[in-house]
Each structure stands twice: as structure tokens, then as C-alpha cells.
Copies of this chain bind each other. A is one copy, B any other.
């Protein structure tokens, strides 16, 4: 009987074409699958808690994978960090219950988005923040953020993705057919030159955090009064909300089970 492993990963998304395996392109899922095959000889497709887009980072992505290998979890952990590129690190490796699945078992997730506000962006942060040095009214952003707390239909913030209809019919679709999600906490804070958004919820639609952040920045530019956030949600239309914020500032912080 195979053993089921839970692997917590951090990665620098700048060096990859996203989580999902793609022929001929470096991806996190593809690199992890190849590395596991080099260590165990087993061909597998590790499942992530969700797909991160190209350029999106992870501080605590979770993957699950069933393996026949007799290697203990600690040995697999050491071997993974030995063979993976330095831009992906296995933070923890442990055995999980046979029915544990990184995506289906997830109960909640936290994302962070970093906006860098100084006039000149440090060259060491270019791929790790959204450099936005222009004026923003943070109090309007804070007020608009209050409207997303709780259970809502987030269709206005879902990727306007041409194959989405197809993906909804696909049993493997990570989001499921409903666009209703519950946001437990959503806050903005300032740290040095950075304005940081942190959001925790029971799940997120494709592009949802980047679409929320791009919309909150529109609020910060006084394009709408904070109350119109309720209307944007009610419209259930991608065109009601603002543009997506760049991938470079987004981090999957952790996944709860």
C-alpha cells in the first residue's frame, strides 16, 4: 500500500512558469515531480493546495503525493532539499492520513500582497513586490476592504478566463462551480516602505487576490467611494472591478487543514 506524504514548500515564483506542470517550461509541480522521481524512481504528479500563477511566490504551499518508497519522511526531506533547485525548498515532509489531499482537504488559506511605496524600488525587490510609488489614500483602501469580510459571491474578482466554463465542468477544477467564498480576515498594514495586504479565507478563486488588490488600489486613487465595494460585489461581473495587480507582489503564506 502506498504511503501518503504531505510536503510544505517555499518557492521563489520569479524563476518558474507557475505551479502547474507544462511541457518544456520550468514549473514548481514539474520540478517537484522530477525530483521525486530522481530520488525514488516513482513517477507521480504531486497535488498542490492550488495553482499559483507564473511569478507568484509561496512561503507555505502544501503538496500531497502517494509513494511506495520505503525512505523515511526525514530522509525524503533531506534528499528533496539536496536535489531541488535552491529556488524551491521543502520546509517540512511528513506522512499524512491515506485520505489527505492537499487541495480537497484544505480548510483555509492565507495570502499576502506586498506593495513597495518608495520612489526608487530596491533592485533586490524588483521581482518580489509591486512597485507603486504614487499617491494612495490608505484610509479609503482600509474602508473598502471591510466590505469583503464574510461570505460573498466573488465573481467580480474571478479570472475572466475563457476556459473557465470548461474548467467548471472538469471534476478536477480547484475552485468548484460556486464563486462563493468566506473571507475571515483582510487587513492592510504598513511595514517600512511597504503597504502589505494580508487575507485569510476558506478558499480563493483564480486571480482573486490580485484582482482584489488592483481594485483596492483603484479605491486608493479615489476612483470610487469605499461603499461602492458592495456594489462591485453585487454586480458579479469582472468588468465591475479593477485590474489585476502584478504577480510579483503575491505570496501564498500558508494553508490550513
Interface residues of A in 49-90 (CB under 8 A from B): 57, 81, 86-90
| Complex Cα gap A120–B121 (Å) | 28
Nearest chain-B residue to A84 (Cβ)? B123
Nearest chain-B residue to A13 (Cβ)? B123
- How many copies make up the complex? 2
**Min distance, Cβ A122 to any Cβ of chain B, angstroms:** 7
* Count, chain A residues at interface, CB 8 A: 20
| Complex Cα gap A124–B81 (Å) | 14
Q: Judging by beta carbons under 8 Å apart, are A10 and B89 in contact?
A: no
**Contact A121/B86 with A12-B126, A126-B12 known, Cβ cut-off 8 Å:** yes
A128 contacts chain B at the CB level, 8 A cutoff: yes
A219 surroundings in chain B (CB, below 8 A) = none
A12 surroundings in chain B (CB, below 8 A) = 123-124, 126
A10 surroundings in chain B (CB, below 8 A) = 122-124
A244 contacts chain B at the CB level, 8 A cutoff: no
A91 contacts chain B at the CB level, 8 A cutoff: yes
A89 surroundings in chain B (CB, below 8 A) = 120-123
| Complex Cα gap A81–B122 (Å) | 11
A11 contacts chain B at the CB level, 8 A cutoff: yes
Q: Judging by beta carbons under 8 Å apart, are A81 and B120 in contact?
A: yes
**Min distance, Cβ A187 to any Cβ of chain B, angstroms:** 23
8 pairs across A/B with beta carbons < 8 Å? A10-B122, A10-B124, A11-B123, A12-B126, A86-B131, A89-B121, A89-B123, A90-B120
A-to-B contact residues, CB < 8 Å = 10-12, 57, 81, 86-91, 120-124, 126-128, 131
10 A-B pairs with least C-beta separation: A86-B126, A12-B123, A87-B123, A89-B123, A11-B123, A10-B123, A89-B120, A12-B124, A88-B123, A87-B126
If A12-B123, A88-B123 are given as contacts, then 15 extra A-B residue pairs at C-beta distance below 8 Å, sorted by A number, are: A10-B122, A10-B123, A11-B123, A12-B124, A81-B120, A86-B121, A86-B123, A86-B126, A86-B127, A86-B131, A87-B126, A89-B122, A89-B123, A90-B120, A91-B120
